[in-house]
Structure 1
Amino acid sequence: NPLTQDILNLYLEPDGTRRLLNYLLDNLAGTAKRTLFSVMCYNVLCDKYATRQLYGYCPSWALNWDYRKKAIIQEILSCNADVISLQEVETEQYYSFFLVELKERGYNGFFSPKSRARTMSEQERKHVDGCAIFFKTEKFTLVQKHTVEFNQLAMANSEGSEAMLNRVMTKDNIGVAVLLELRKELIEMSSGKPHLGTEKQLILVANAHMHWDPEYSDVKLVQTMMFLSEVKNIIDKASRSLQSSALGEFGTIPLVLCADLNSLPDSGVVEYLSTGGVETNHKDFKELRYNESLTNFSCNGKNGTTNGRITHGFKLKSAYESGLMPYTNYTFDFKGIIDYIFYSKPQLNTLGILGPLDHHWLVENNISGCPHPLIPSDHFSLFAQLELLLPFLPQVNGIHLPGR
């Protein structure tokens, strides 16, 4: 590209290269600085699941909700995350406890119970658990909120698949999602520059709890595909309804996905999320006939099955690199990683995470499984500090300088 005249004049002067570099550096107004926010993911162990039958190694007084809830809220508040995704939140406890405690500290929230709540009496509904997302109102404004019911999606997209109707539709797991707008003053504070024009910076936070039974790996994988497909629909619709400037430099709304996937790192679920696709004959499908219905959930539309793979369009990365967290679920009978925070590249990046509890501390305190008088849930919380790469694309004397 030809240089503009004033840039060319500088360049042609004696010592022009150095003078030009200094000029450009002095006028480099557009390099984006970091906008940071933190995310917590935590399965709090719903009261009705905290039984002596399941957790016989924990004294009954330490399983009691009134005892455990104090340590749970203390854990949440000590992390002080900007966004909090919780699973196994009892409906009544969401409204009477979590929302009350967190609103006092500057959060707002959104909650949906599992689908079975639809068919229950008001009294029974109180004890149904679900998923909740909280966010700091000083950082974010709520734009949209969504509930994703997997049994409804299974029914609507069965395409004659008996496995879809008999195995997936009968499970009442759900996911929730909130579209958040980052407050403009935070963008300006982090960049040191006024944000361009009327641009909005949006983020979609999604939270889900997949089916628990190890014998139903197919259901977990289908539920995950459904959820990602719905998340893509939400992002696509939001993108179309907003000005193109709302999408920023990368052309799409960044995604943070928190979940208790009830799936280990070597599962089809995690392979699907982290690699962008999975084979239609993956062992986790258990040779059941899902093929026709799965194409409905391909994030690339009906043509999303390429060479026998179901693919999606997100570039997702786990906030926790392999080996950093030995387990997120820690019971007497099972210890493994089943909880995750994923985020979309290239818009987001991990700056830091909260690591595991010290193994020696667990041994010294004879903690062979959780919950325990010192640990209120059978899950450990995840916490990640993320940076949002903001587009600032200025012109310096006619030269277009790309953002970071």
Structure 2
Amino acid sequence: NILHEFGATRLLRGRGGGAVPPWAKDRLPQAAELVRRLGPDVACLQEVDDAARAALERALGEDYDCAAWMQNESLPAKDGCAIFVQRSRFETLRAHQFRMRDVAEKHFPGLDGMRARAGGMAAALWREFHEKLNMSVGLHLQAKGGPSGAEAPLCVATAHLFWDPRYPDLKLLQAFFLARELEEFAGGRPLVLAGDLNSTPYHQEGGVASGVYALLTQGTLPLGHPDHPVALRPARGILRGVAPADVPELSVAPFRSAYLDAQGSEGPVTNASRDFSGCLDYVLYRS
């Protein structure tokens, strides 16, 4: 996540007139130069606005192609997700972009009718879910340079989930529809998902896996998990709580975590601020 200009400006204003940090003046060129220096086969990026894309294209030159990019034009930041592909390594066969809210009915048949009938907490849940514009972009890629047909195509995707820690159930639903849509898009091909999921691996209290992490790495999330809407949004007074008929137990094809496989624990610190430090970003895969 390279931080869009709107967010960077807001962050600096929040410093209350303190000294402007050195990174503020050349933030985008530094981020673009880092990508160039690392030289990845594929770079999956979030919060990419017009200025960021221009900086990346200047730094990466003809070596990379911005093969997928989707923006939220209706939001002040006008940012989105992008995937840059090293031209010498891969050929792009197909691109796909979507918002999680826009594929919900396809993967949750009857959702629109259920939303119309729902009341209380369930109505609020689905209304809030459909207000969020979080997105994903994905690619079918074919490796270059080997014998014809030597390497099967693979799918690479990135995503950016809702940020607010007060709404883990909304992130969970986004992760569910994200995984289902990418599974369909991959069509049995190996799949790499590298994105900002805005969810820690575990809750600090009790060491329970967060709903997003548990669903994506274990493949299921029971109704009793603290992040599941049934558990998180019970009845309050005359308001009916979310029932299993509103949101059932969730299941997806599970991913493996590259961080966990490589180092035996989940993630480095991928996000650090004055009031938070932890892992919110992941490289997940399945073959």
TM-score (norm 1): 0.57
Paired position in structure 1 for 2:46: 87
Letter in 1 for 2:273: T
- How many percent of aligned residue pairs carry the same amino acid? 27
Distance 1:234 1:328 in 2: 27
Distance 2:266 2:186 in 1: 31
From 273, 286, 290, the equivalent of 2:216 is 273
User: Where do 1:167-182 residues align within 5 Å?
Assistant: 167-182=128-143
Letter in 2 for 1:327: V
Q: Secondary structure at the match of 1:168?
A: helix
Q: How much does 1:107 deviate? A: 3.5
Paired position in structure 2 for 1:234: 185
Q: Secondary structure at the match of 1:60?
A: coil
8 A Cα contact 2:155 2:190, kept in partner? yes
Indicate whether 1:166 and 2:127 are aligned. yes
Change (3 A) 1:292 1:147: farther
8 A Cα contact 1:154 1:164, kept in partner? no
Letter in 2 for 1:179: H
8 A Cα contact 2:93 2:139, kept in partner? yes
Deviations 1:199-229 (A, max 9, x none): 6611111100100101010010000001001
8 A Cα contact 1:147 1:174, kept in partner? yes
Paired position in structure 1 for 2:271: 329
Q: How much does 1:103 deviate? A: 3.7
User: Where do 1:98-177 residues align within 5 Å?
Assistant: 98-114=56-72, 117=73, 119=74, 127-154=77-104, 157-158=111-112, 159-160=114-115, 161-177=122-138
Greater C-alpha Rg = 1
Deviations 1:224-251 (A, max 9, x none): 0010010111123xxxxxxxxxxxxxxx
Letter in 2 for 1:343: Y
Change (3 A) 1:291 1:169: farther
Unaligned runs of 5+ in 2: 116-121, 203-209, 234-240
Letter in 1 for 2:4: C
Deviations 1:283-323 (A, max 9, x none): 1131362744656xxxxxxxxxxxxx422224x11111254
More contact order relative to length (CA 8 Å, sep ≥ 6): 1
From 334, 341, 344, the equivalent of 2:283 is 341
User: Where do 1:205-284 residues align within 5 Å?
Assistant: 205-236=156-187, 252-266=188-202, 267-284=210-227
Distance 1:256 1:80 in 2: 18
Paired position in structure 2 for 1:320: 259
Indicate whether 1:62 and 2:5 are aligned. no
Letter in 2 for 1:48: F
User: Where do 1:364-379 residues align within 5 Å?
Assistant: none
Q: How much does 1:79 deviate? A: 1.1
8 A Cα contact 1:155 1:169, kept in partner? no
Q: How much does 1:61 deviate? A: 5.5
Letter in 2 for 1:139: R
8 A Cα contact 1:179 1:203, kept in partner? yes
Distance 1:325 1:132 in 2: 22
Deviations 1:331-368 (A, max 9, x none): 11110111100111xx3xxxxxxxxxxxxxxxxxxxxx
Q: How much does 1:278 deviate? A: 0.9
8 A Cα contact 1:154 1:168, kept in partner? no
Unaligned runs of 5+ in 1: 1-42, 189-194, 237-251, 296-308, 348-404
Q: How much does 1:109 deviate? A: 2.6
